[in-house]
Amino acid sequence: MADIGTIGIIGIIGAGQMGGGIAHVAAQAGYEVILQDIAQDIVDKGLKTVARNMEREVKREKIGTEQMQAALGRISTTTDLAALGKAQLIVEAATENEPVKLQIYEQLAPRLSEGAILASNTSSISITRLGAHTPRPERFLGIHFFNPVPMMEMVELIRGVATADEVYRTVEAVVRKLGKTPVAAKDSPGFIVNRIFIPMLNEAVFALQEGVAGVEAIDAAMKLGVRHPMGPLALADYIGLDTVLAVMQVLHGELGDSKYRPCPLLIKRVEAGWLGVKTGRGFYDYAHDPPVPVV
């Protein structure tokens, strides 16, 4: 069984926003990192983003140039899942789609090294159910990082029904080594943060839909009245409206309470392909600087 002392190589599946961020902090903490995705141009782009983010840290004098180069030197990229056979801990941060994740686990199973721990960064899928589709559910758990990974200080750790205590403790120690505070959450839809936070964003969209106030007024009210650093509609745009909707659908579907129903206006924006910052338009239009509300 892998323990903190034996974890030297961390494999990461998915070189998107989260996978890149996890690679960033793992390499800076001294781990060798193997970053895997389905196409070479995707892993190249992921690594380029990591390098750009580290350069920003150098400019802000958070790290030195040598530290950055050493960390980047510890990250290798691949499109071959078999390359992850060397890793003692594998964090799956692929697209939030259950069949996609299950297919990855199936392909990965014969390639896992003896004692390797497999973890998912899923925001909303049951850890117990995912783990049950792996050959060793006792060595599977949820490691839920927050975005942007290098900036956020907390990680939710989720045990599935079968997760072994020593696996949990090993990963808890790795998370501390990454400079993050681990917080234990039950394997329940949305875990802690999304269970509380995403319905608040959904509620902001209901308030907009019902004409309680306009986009800017809702955001200003929550910034000035509750001291949130960003308003809920701007934040929903930043997270991605498709992601916000997907989490609400999971909360609604799995908890079965109508208080979690996704707001129709949120659904319409997603149907229109207005997903927020990543598509240039959501509750704000990002073609303008500063962005202007979309009416």
Stretch that binds ligand NAI, among 17-25, 64-72, 169-177, 285-293 (CB under 6 A): 17-25
Cβ 65 to ligand NAI shortest distance, Å = 27
Active site residue 202: no
Cβ 214 to ligand NAI shortest distance, Å = 26
Measured between alpha carbons, how far apart are the two ends of the chain, in Å?
Answer: 56
Q: Give me the catalytic one of 120, 121, 123, 202.
A: 123
> Please, are residues 67 and 74 in contact by the beta-carbon 8 Å criterion?
no
Kindly tell me the sign of the dihedral angle through the C-alpha atoms of 70, 51, 105, 118: positive
Active site residue 123: yes
Q: Give me the catalytic one of 32, 92, 96, 156.
A: 156
- Phi/psi for 62 (5° steps) reads -80, -35
**Token pair in block for residue 22:** 């996890």
Cβ 82 to ligand NAI shortest distance, Å = 13
Of the pair 82, 212, the CB lying nearest ligand NAI is at 82
Active site residue 156: yes
Q: Would you count residue 95 as binding ligand NAI (CB under 6 A)?
A: yes
Q: Would you count residue 38 as binding ligand NAI (CB under 6 A)?
A: yes
Q: Would you count residue 126 as binding ligand NAI (CB under 6 A)?
A: no
Of the pair 146, 286, the CB lying nearest ligand NAI is at 146
> Please, are residues 116 and 90 in contact by the beta-carbon 8 Å criterion?
yes
Active site residue 194: yes
Q: Would you count residue 37 as binding ligand NAI (CB under 6 A)?
A: yes
Q: Give me the catalytic one of 121, 124, 194, 202.
A: 194
Please classify residue 120 by burial: count the beta carbons closer than 10 Å to its beta carbon, then call 0-12 exposed, 13-18 middle and 19+ buried: buried
Stretch that binds ligand NAI, among 10-18, 47-55, 135-143, 160-168 (CB under 6 A): 10-18
Q: Give me the catalytic one of 32, 120, 144, 252.
A: 144
List the helix and strand counts (H, then E) for the chain.
11, 10
Q: Would you count residue 123 as binding ligand NAI (CB under 6 A)?
A: yes
SS3 label, residue 263: coil
> Please, are residues 160 and 141 in contact by the beta-carbon 8 Å criterion?
yes
**DSSP letters of 170-218?**
HHHHHHHHTT-EEEEE-SSTTTTHHHHHHHHHHHHHHHHHTTSS-HHHH
Binding mask 139-158 for ligand NAI (x = CB under 6 A): -----xxxx-----------
Cβ 38 to ligand NAI shortest distance, Å = 5
> Binding ligand NAI by CB under 6 A: which of 2, 7, 9, 15?
15
Nearest to 94 by CA among 115, 72, 125, 116: 125
Q: Would you count residue 17 as binding ligand NAI (CB under 6 A)?
A: yes
Angle (deg, nearest 10), helices 65-73 and 17-28: 110
In this structure, the dihedral spanned by the alpha carbons of residues 7, 12, 13 and 16, taken in order and rounded to 10 degrees, is 160
Instruction: Give the residue at shortest CB distance from ligand NAI.
Output: 16
Q: Would you count residue 134 as binding ligand NAI (CB under 6 A)?
A: no
The catalytic site residues sit at 123, 144, 156, 194
Contact positions toward ligand NAI, by CB under 6 A? 13-19, 36-38, 42, 93-96, 100, 104, 121-123, 144-147, 239, 243
